[in-house]
Amino acid sequence: MESTQSVITIRNLVKSFPMGNREFVALNGINMQVAHGEFSGLVGPSGSGKTTLLNLVGTLDLPTEGEVLVLDQSVGHLSQKKAARLRSQEIGFIFQTFNLLPVYSAFENVEFPLLIQKMGAEKRKKAVVDALEWVGLTDKARSKPAQLSGGECQRVAIARAIVKKPEIILADEPTANLDAENSHHILKTMLSINREMGTTFLFATHDEKVIGYLGRIIKLVDGRIASDEKVQLN
């Protein structure tokens, strides 16, 4: 599914945060491109800048210097409204702690991004059922997050990310709170989504299990890209 068409382009990216009287540079001189359909990951120890980079690609943060282009749109120049629209239509998020809305059922959680898109009721229902089928949770549609296991919660989060058929899915440590079995289950699901739907995945992880599934490993150390290599998957 991978093509040469770039969905993410990063040029000379610098991101710094004020820390007391000085600036902490989280990302320094990042240049990279992610092609459509890639199953790639930002790998590195804590504090290496993985999540910061993911947040910038996800239009949740703004670059200090340089440029982040997502689907040819410069993150630094997007209005809040346009950034929200980009997230709503083209970017799916999967978080380490699932971040499901606690008072909603699994069905309602998956439905949420489509409600924001103002999709019609019938189309919405079909899309939610399809997404839940993808992750094998149709029988848990009415369950609230508190009634689900960690693995099930993350599968609901994956369904929520894919339901709107985004171009890019950003997954921040998606297996950090899961056991090995659930981790593999989740990763296989995401890989099959990548292969069948052509969705681009960008992970932030330091979990070896995840790294084993990645088609491209971008290693970050102290806010810089230390290595960037493609891996041949079986």
Residues at the contact surface with another protein, assessed by CB under 8 A: 51, 55, 58, 60-61, 80-81, 84-85, 87-89, 93, 95, 97, 99, 101-104, 108, 112-113, 115-118, 160
C-beta of 86 vs 190, nearer to another protein: 86
Q: Helices (DSSP H) in 117-166: which residue ranges? A: 121-134, 150-162
Q: Is 135 helix (H, G, I), strand (E, B) or coil?
A: coil
C-beta of 25 vs 116, nearer to another protein: 116
Q: Is 8 helix (H, G, I), strand (E, B) or coil?
A: strand
Nearest approach in angstroms of CB 233 to another protein is 28
C-beta of 104 vs 209, nearer to another protein: 104
C-beta of 37 vs 166, nearer to another protein: 166
Nearest approach in angstroms of CB 4 to another protein is 28
Nearest approach in angstroms of CB 130 to another protein is 18
Nearest approach in angstroms of CB 231 to another protein is 28
Nearest approach in angstroms of CB 85 to another protein is 7
C-beta of 95 vs 213, nearer to another protein: 95
Sign of the alpha-carbon dihedral angle for 226, 59, 230, 134: positive
For the CA atoms of 99, 103, 107, 111, the dihedral, rounded to the nearest 10 degrees, stands at -70
Q: Is 209 helix (H, G, I), strand (E, B) or coil?
A: helix
- The DSSP string of 19-86 is ETTEEEEEEEEEEEEEETT-EEEEE--TTSSHHHHHHHHTTSS--SEEEEEETTEEGGG--HHHHHHH
